[in-house]
Each structure stands twice: as C-alpha cells, then as structure tokens.
Structure 1
C-alpha cells in the first residue's frame, strides 16, 4: 500500500513539475516575441542613425542677393548601404546644395521656415538620385549668413 501511494505521489509531483516547466517555457517564448516585435517597430537607436548618416563638409557659397552662406550638413538615410551610396555621390550632393542656395536670398533663409524649406528641398532632390534606400532627414549642423 505504501508503494502504491508513493507511486501516486511521484506521478502527481511529475505532472506538477512538467506543468510548471511548460508554463515557464510559454511565458519565455511570449516575452521574447513581444520584445522582438517592439524592437522591430521601434525608432532606430542613435548608433543606427549615425551608421546610416554622412557628414557634408562645411561649404561656403553665394546666394542670389550677393550675400553668402557657410553651412555644414548631416544627412540621415534609412540604411548603411544608402549612406555608402551617398558617400560616393558627394560631388552631386555639393552640386545640389550650391544650385539650391544660388536661387535663394538671405531673406529666404531667415528663421526656422527658411531652414526647413532648404532641408526639405535638399532631401527631395537627393531622394530623386538615390538608387539604394532613401534620405530620411537633412540636419543643418553649422550655419552662418553674411
């Protein structure tokens, strides 16, 4: 009789142990999947942004009203491959910037709206050139008008 009770107790303990283990595994899998989905849909980290960005060296050029502007840009793309393509297109980037600035006056570039307009125009024209990826954002990192 003792042997029979021991077998039942052992069987019940094994069932409880297997159940707890299965619940633990299910919770682990659900948490892992939730974290992966959150990471996939989240914003890129600053390291990912920097990896997918290029710096445009400081440029000085004339504006349409005979004043001049000195500026420096950082261009953020959607991938490292797109940033590599933009690095190869550096001469085209500079050409676009010079052409756009030569059509603008000091007054056109005044205030926040003038800078947003310039950033938007450069972004649009660069995206027309891109074969791999897209330009996400154009940042003005240095800016002087005289």
Structure 2
C-alpha cells in the first residue's frame, strides 16, 4: 500500500507543478494587459487646442467657449490639426442648437462633450477622439 501512496503522491505533485508552470507561461505571454490612465504629458502630446469660440445660441444669447480635444494617437492629432476648420464648424453648429438651460449642471456640459466627440469622430480617418475637455466657458 505505501508504494501505491508514493506513486499517487508523485503523480499529484507532478500535475500540480505542470499546472503551475502552464499558468506562469500563460500569464507571462498573454499578460494581464491593464489599461492605465495616460499621464498628463501623454494627454498633452496627443491633444489639440480649439481656441475660444464666440457664437450665438438658439435663443440669441451667446457663449464664449474653448476646448482641448484629446486624440488616441499622434497621427490622429496631426489629422485633427489639419481638420481644425471642420472641428470649429461642428462645434459652432452644435452650440447654435443649444439654449442656456442646456448647459445647466454637469450633465449639460457632459452631453455637449459627448456629442462633439461623436461628431468629430465621424470625420476622422487616422484616429479618434478620446476625450473632449472644456477649458473655458462664459455664457451670457
């Protein structure tokens, strides 16, 4: 009986070691590729500034607003810089449909940023918008 226990124990230890080695190999090569938030420098390197735009809103009041648009890579940034006039057109078009009440609270600005991201991504070919930041905002 003791010989049977030794053989069984050896088989279990061998299976456990093989499984452990397999797991190490799998995690090493596939990796646990977690998305880390970009650093401030990385955001700046891939971002385009949209200088202050002054335009009328739907009710006749006006807004002064500027943006920083974060792209997903440097090729997208270069394309966005070339499409500056198109991005400004999209921004003015979206703003002209809004009323001052549409900007109330965090939700209003978040909705605007989401719409701008969607509309600008429709014209992009070499990348996409990751995030839209409002860098100045005056509503009168």
Fold match by TM threshold 0.5: yes
Which portions of structure 1, spanning 4 or more consecutive aligned residues, are displaced by more than 4 angstroms?
37-40
For the residues of structure 1 that align with 2:107 and 2:62, how far apart are their CA atoms?
A: 19
Cross-structure match for 1:126: 120
Q: 2:36, 2:102 → 1: CA distance?
A: 36
Q: 1:38 to 1:48 in 2, by over 3 A?
A: farther
Query: 1:78 matched to which residue of 2?
Result: 72
Match of 1:68 among 44, 62, 68: 62
Shift of 1:85: 0.5
State the distance in 2 between where 1:40 and 1:47 align. Answer: 19
Q: What TM-score, normalized to structure 2?
A: 0.75
Structure 1 unpaired stretches of 5+: 1-29
Mapped partners of 1:58, 1:101: distance in 2 = 13
Q: Which runs of 5+ in 2 are unaligned?
A: 1-23
For 1:55, the equivalent position in structure 2 comes to 49
TM-score of the superposition, structure 1-length normalised? 0.72
Give the structure 1 partner of residue 81 of structure 2. Answer: 87
Q: Distance in 2 between matches of 1:38 and 1:77?
A: 25
Residue 11 of structure 2 corresponds to none
How far, CA to CA, are the matches of 2:110 and 2:35 in structure 1?
A: 27
- What corresponds to 1:106 in structure 2? 100
Q: Against the structure 1 CA distance between its residues 54 and 39, is the aligned structure 2 distance closer, same or farther, given a 3 Å change threshold?
A: farther
Shift, 1:43, TM fit: 2.3
